[in-house]
Amino acid sequence: MPDIILIAECFARLMTKTDLKRLRQIVLAMVCMTGRVTLVGLSRWTEKGGSYRTIQRWFASKVEWGALCYGR
């Protein structure tokens, strides 16, 4: 599982610290959880700082996925 976090660190220059921290929490929660993936489920599986509202903010934020995919 730490390998996934290392991959997310490659995005550090393309994302804000806050967005990267939220992404890290969401990825770890998705890997650990079972069953349906919902906002409530994600917030329950995250550690401190991964509230329901934080998860909502992540999905409401604008992320330049094209830049992340090409690493520019």
| Residue 68 pLDDT grade (very low, low, confident, very high; cuts 50, 70, 90) | low
Tell me the pLDDT of the chain averaged across its residues. Answer: 79
Domain limits, the chain? 2-70
Q: What would the pLDDT profile of 24-57 be if each residue is shown by its tens digit?
A: 888 888 888 888 888 888 888 888 888 888 888 8
The closest of 26, 30, 27, 33 to 4, measured between CA atoms, is 27
Identify which of 24, 26, 22, 21 has the alpha carbon closest to the alpha carbon of residue 38: 26
> DSSP string spanning 22-54?
HHHHHHHHHHH--S---HHHHHHHS-TT--HHH
What is the Cβ-side half-sphere exposure of residue 18, based on CA atoms within 13 angstroms? 8
